[in-house]
């Protein structure tokens, strides 16, 4: 296999494309293929470089920078708008990923915020387990309620948009050094037509509204 870099915005189908080039399943709708292709974490945004990898998948889309990192690799760039691609990725896995990475509120902080004047003062989370059962029961119910009330959908949306807009300001789209550009808007091949439909089906008024604000 020719050493290759596949560059694409999150949600644009880079893992699917690699599956297709390897002659494997690639066109199941409404899912991600990241679990099939082991995209190196540090290659996602080119935090670190390992030129020994035969296949590199990256969300960096600046061909000048990519070629400076991987001068001997063929560069394939999948091109489509950042907003619709990121919206699809966010709706598929972004909210769940945000929840997994968001730690629950500190128990002691919650205790001090909602404690009854008759409850004892505490200095650590571990002391909560030593409270009387009736206090712990009331505390646990309120803690669960406050944790569940957090607006993860909105928070994850804002976080996703802000992080990626900041990243792509520093490393903007450039295709001048690409060996092959797969333009989903204009290409007529099966992959491009499938991915354009797949991306465009994921709509969100919330995402589009926050996109304009950030």
Give the pLDDT confidence of 165-189 residue by residue, as tens digits.
999 999 999 999 999 999 999 999 9
**pLDDT tens by residue, 3-54:** 999 999 999 999 999 999 989 999 999 998 887 665 666 689 998 888 888 9
Residue in 70, 74, 80 with CA at minimum distance from that of residue 13: 80
Identify the weakest region by mean pLDDT among 40-44, 90-94, 167-171, 191-195. Answer: 40-44
DSSP states of 96-160 as a string? HHHHHHSPPPPHHHHHHHH--TTSPP-SSGGGGGGS-HHHHHHHHHHHHHHHHTS-HHHHHHHHH
Output the CA torsion 8→13→18→24 (10° steps): 180
Which run of H or of E encompasses 4?
Answer: strand 4-7
Round the CA-based radius of gyration of the chain to a whole number and report it: 22
pLDDT at position 195? 98
Burial class (CB in 10 A: 0-12, 13-18, 19+), 40: middle
Say what the pTM is. Answer: 0.82
8 A C-beta contact, residue 34 and residue 59: no
Mean pLDDT of the chain: 92
Edge-first strand listing for the sheet containing 74-79: 55-58, 4-7, 74-79, 180-183
The candidate with the shortest Cα–Cα distance to 15, out of 37, 42, 48, is 37
Question: Using the 8-state DSSP alphabet, how is residue 64 labeled?
Answer: H
Of 33-42, 53-62, 195-204, the range with the lowest mean pLDDT is 33-42
Helices (H), 45-106: 63-69, 82-89, 95-101
**Structure token pair of residue 158:** 């804002």
């Amino acid at each position: 296999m020719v050493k290759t870099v596949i560059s694409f915005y999150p949600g644009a189908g880079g893992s699917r494309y690699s599956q297709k080039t390897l002659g494997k399943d690639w066109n199941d709708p409404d899912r991600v293929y990241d679990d099939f292709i082991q995209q190196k974490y540090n290659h996602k945004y080119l935090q670190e470089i390992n030129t020994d990898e035969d296949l590199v998948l990256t969300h960096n889309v600046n061909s000048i920078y990519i070629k400076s990192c991987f001068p001997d690799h063929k560069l394939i760039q999948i091109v489509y708008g950042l907003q619709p691609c990121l919206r699809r990725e966010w709706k598929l896995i972004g909210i769940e990923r945000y929840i997994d990475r968001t730690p629950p509120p500190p128990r002691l902080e919650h205790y001090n915020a909602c404690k009854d004047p008759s409850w004892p003062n505490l200095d650590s989370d571990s002391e909560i387990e030593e409270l009387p059962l009736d206090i712990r029961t009331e505390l646990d119910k309120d803690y669960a309620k406050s944790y569940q009330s957090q607006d993860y959908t909105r928070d994850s949306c804002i976080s996703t948009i802000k992080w990626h807009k900041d990243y792509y300001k520093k490393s903007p789209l450039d295709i001048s050094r690409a060996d092959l550009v797969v333009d989903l808007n204009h290409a007529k091949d099966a992959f491009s037509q499938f991915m354009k439909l797949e991306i465009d089906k994921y709509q969100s008024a919330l995402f589009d509204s926050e996109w304009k604000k950030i």
